[in-house]
Amino acid sequence: MQFVDQWGETSYSGYGFKTWLSNNKDVALSISFLYLMFVFYAPRYIPRFMGEAGTEKNKIMQEKVKKVWVVWNLFLSAFAFYGTTRVFPPLIKNFMKYGIHDTFCTFRPEEFYTTEIGTALGLFTMSKLPEFGDTVFLLLLGKKLPFLQFFHHTSMFLFVWFAYEQGSSIFITAAAYNYFVHTIMYMYFALAEAGFKEEVKPLAMYITALQLIQMMGVMWSSSYVIYQKYFVDLPNGVAHDAYGVGACPGTSLYNARLQFCIYTFFLYLFGEMFFKTTSSEDPPLKSGE
What are the residues whose beta carbons fall under 8 Å from the beta carbon of 281, sequence distance 6 or more?
Answer: none
- CB distance 98 to 106 below 8 Å: yes
What is the 8-class DSSP label of residue 174? H
- By residue range, what is the domain housing residue 25? 2-279
CA distances from 107 to 36, 110, 123, 273 (A): 34, 9, 19, 35
Average pLDDT over residues 244-249: 69
Q: Is 188 helix (H, G, I), strand (E, B) or coil?
A: helix
Query: What are the residue numbers of the active site?
Result: 152
pLDDT(243) > 50: no
pLDDT(35) > 80: yes
Read off the pLDDT band of 246 (50, 70, 90).
low
Q: For 199-242, what is each residue's pLDDT tens digit? A: 998 898 899 899 999 999 999 999 999 999 888 756 555 555 54
Q: For 135-146, what is each residue's pLDDT tens digit? A: 999 999 999 899
State the pLDDT at residue 3.
Answer: 84
CB burial readout 76-87, b (16+ within 10 A) else e:
bbebbbbbbebb
User: Does residue 229 sit within a domain?
Assistant: yes
User: Does residue 287 sit within a domain?
Assistant: no
User: Does residue 286 sit within a domain?
Assistant: no
User: Does residue 7 sit within a domain?
Assistant: yes
Question: pTM, whole model, 2 decimals?
Answer: 0.90
Domain count, the chain: 1
Task: Give me the helices (H) in 42-170, please.
Answer: 46-50, 56-105, 109-113, 115-127, 133-140, 147-166
